[in-house]
Amino acid sequence: MSAYNFEDFEEFEDEEFEDDDYEEVEEDFEDEVAADGNRLVGARPRAVLEYVSTAIADNPDEVDVEMIEDRRGIVFELHVDPDDMGRIIGRRGRVANAIRTLVRTAARLDGTSATVDIVD
């Protein structure tokens, strides 16, 4: 939804509105709210994955995320520099599991499911 500036409405202060004008404004508002709901599928979990993995990696320029949609939901393939693979996976996979949990939670906020595959 876009933010409104009250200065834009000063020109309408002295005008009188009829009921039809209010209905038109309300319809415009509903259209704007409906348009705000159109988002890219997987945008939020992808942003979370990119942010966290670039923060962890020593070579953030080498981090690449590919998104694949299948019948199970969204699958993110995370490609990192071979030197950063240990940092991304962590001891006993704890960092990788934490990343997967964050991405899964972000996907649920968008109403979808997502998994993360760490690829060589």
Question: What residue segments make up the domains of the chain, in order of their start?
Answer: 6-36, 43-119
pLDDT at 3: 53
> What radius of gyration, in Å, describes the C-alpha atoms of the chain?
22
pTM of the model: 0.67
How confident is the prediction along the chain (120 residues), in pLDDT tens digits per residue? 445 555 555 555 555 555 555 555 555 555 554 444 556 778 899 999 999 999 999 999 999 999 999 888 899 999 999 999 999 999 999 999 999 999 999 999 888 899 999 997
Whole-number pLDDT of residue 72: 80
**41 φ, ψ (degrees, to nearest 5):** -70, 125
- Give residue 83's pLDDT: 92
Return the CATH class of domain 43-119.
alpha beta
pLDDT at position 1, please? 45
Q: What gap in Å lies between CA 111 and CA 105, rounded to an integer?
A: 10
Classify residue 72 by its DSSP letter: T
> Residue 20 is encoded by which pair of tokens?
């039809």
